[in-house]
Amino acid sequence: MTLNPYCQVEFETNRYSVPADKAYRNLVLRAYPFRIEVLYLDEVIARHPRCYGRQQDVLDPLHYLPLLEQRPGAFEHAKPVRRWRETWPRVYETLLNRLQTDDNDGRGLKIFIQVLQLHRNYPAGQVEQAVQMALGFGCVSLDGIKHCLHQLRHPEVPIAALDLGEHPRLIGIGEQPMNLHCYDQLLTGGHNGH
């Protein structure tokens, strides 16, 4: 099985996408009643629902993101992204607009593509929620979104108040006003010797 120039393999007249960063020469395609798998050596590099239509493109937009990161000018015209864009959360458009507005040197689109690549390792709902959080906090950057994603996946457990019921003599420690008199003595004591 060989790839066409669009990082696709053909099976029964239909074309199935393969990750652009794993576009190897000799691939194996396994066809099952409801799915197809594309393998390189023993690794499954692509999995799609099997299409029984004719001359159809079955595309996973995540497969094309590494290529688009290198060539962001193709982003608006890439068929897989255009299809995805019809259904992705509205907050993604908000993020894309903010990144392109805030970033004058053209890196905004590249950063947005890197955010989309988070879908390779995290569930779509979590990525969407992290983008929403980051926009709410005003930290519109890849690192800000990754931080929000980390917080969603590993929420900080609030530290419970220490129960001092069995040690009543410790209650109130740290709440009493500080006595700075000893510091005043040091300051005035240093002036007496001059």
Which DSSP helix (H) or strand (E) runs through 193? none
CB atoms within 10 A of CB 41: 9
Domains in the chain: boundaries: 8-58, 63-153
15/4 Cα distance (integer angstroms): 9
One-letter amino acid for residue 88 of the chain = W
Question: Which token pair is 64?
Answer: 């094309």
Strand arrangement of the beta sheet that strand 57-58 belongs to: 8-11, 14-17, 57-58
Q: What pLDDT score was predicted for residue 164?
A: 72
Q: What pLDDT score was predicted for residue 134?
A: 93
CB contact at 8 A, 106 and 114: no
Q: What pLDDT score was predicted for residue 11?
A: 92
Q: What pLDDT score was predicted for residue 191?
A: 56
Pick from 86, 27, 25, 15: nearest CA to 51: 15
Q: What pLDDT score was predicted for residue 140?
A: 87
- pLDDT (tens digit, 0 to 9) for every residue of the chain, 194 residues total? 778 888 889 999 999 999 888 877 788 999 999 999 999 888 999 999 999 999 999 999 999 998 888 888 888 888 899 999 999 999 999 999 999 887 767 788 999 999 999 999 999 999 999 999 999 988 889 999 999 999 988 887 777 777 777 777 777 776 777 777 777 777 876 555 45
61/86 Cα distance (integer angstroms): 12
